[in-house]
Structures are given as C-alpha cells and as structure tokens.
Amino acid sequence: MVSSTKFSDDFKRDAVAQITERGYPVREVAERLGVSQYSLYSWKKKFAKASSGDAEKEAEIRRLKRELLRVTEERDILKKATAYFARDAK
C-alpha cells in the first residue's frame, strides 16, 4: 500500500464514486487502487458532504440526457416522414 503519496482530489472523488455510485466494496477498491480502507472511508466522509448537491445535479443531467435522446429520435422520425411524404407529393 502507498502511504506517503499525495493523491489529487479528482483521484479521491473517483475512488469514492466507485464505492457510492457503482457499489463496489471498500476493500476491493482499496486493494485495486493501492490505498488503505481507512483512507477511502475518510475520503468518503470528506467528499460525500460536498457531493450531496452534486447528486441532484447529476440526476437532473441524466434526466435531461434521456429527454434529449427521446426528442432527437422523434425529430429524426419526423424528418424521415417529411421526406417520404414530400417524395409522394411530387
């Protein structure tokens, strides 16, 4: 395990996200990343507070992306229908 290495906040947030968002066990993430479980728990405590508002924003972003995908598909269908009917009108 690496004990004296300084990890960036992005690295720590990504490690915490593996636990909180993806559901990986702390022990597995700690082994894979080469950090102690204690470090992960302290990072989780630190970044969980900051990410509570982020979770709402991320949920909204996911919802908007789904809506954008739906609207884009509807637009593409309408384009094809317009081209079809325009061809028949000639």
Q: Are 15 and 43 in contact (CB under 8 A)?
A: yes
**pLDDT at position 59, please?**
79
- Ordered domains of the chain (ranges, CATH): 9-89 (1.10.10)
pLDDT digits (tens, 9 = 90+) for 14-67: 999 898 888 899 999 999 999 999 999 999 888 876 555 677 788 788 899 999
3 half-sphere exposure, CB direction, 13 A CA radius: 1
